[in-house]
Amino acid sequence: MKKQIKVVAAIIENNNNEILCALRSPSMDLPNHWEFPGGKIEVGESHKDAIEREILEELACEVKFNNIFNENVYEYDAFIVDLTSVKCTLISGTPTASEHSKLVWLKRENLNSLIWAPADLAAVEQLIEEKV
């Protein structure tokens, strides 16, 4: 049986209605694919606690959890990802790539220009369709 991993990802939008996208580094699983930043939910941790911790660790900035946006289960060859994408507000600092190769801010209509990790595609499609 494949290992199932519970993951939370941040959809962070700036004042220009651009969304933060993170490029997975060559040392990560699914290298050179884009994703919304985040990580594994620890045992006993809420989505709010997990995303606020992960963004502080990964991007050296603080976000505030707003709400759950999309939930998706995706089966990869080696494992299953239970991904919850959450809307967040940047409250302090500037996102800085430490684990990722690159960070970019993109408008919704340009999200399709990137090669996304398959688990993130459901949230990407929902964001593109969302009326802002």
Q: Residue 28: what pLDDT?
A: 85
Query: Residue 87 and residue 9: Cα distance in Å, rounded?
Result: 9
> Per-block average pLDDT, block size 10, for the chain (132 residues)?
95 95 92 96 97 97 98 94 97 95 96 97 96 70
Q: Residue 30: what pLDDT?
A: 86
The pTM of the full predicted model, rounded to 2 decimals, is: 0.94
Q: Residue 32: what pLDDT?
A: 94
- Where are the alpha helices (H) located in the chain, listed in sequence order? 47-59, 121-129
Q: 3-129 domain in CATH 1.10.10.10?
A: no
Query: Residue 47 and residue 41: Cα distance in Å, rounded?
Result: 7
Q: Residue 1: what pLDDT?
A: 83
> Taking the CB of residue 88, how many other CB atoms lie within 10 A of it?
27
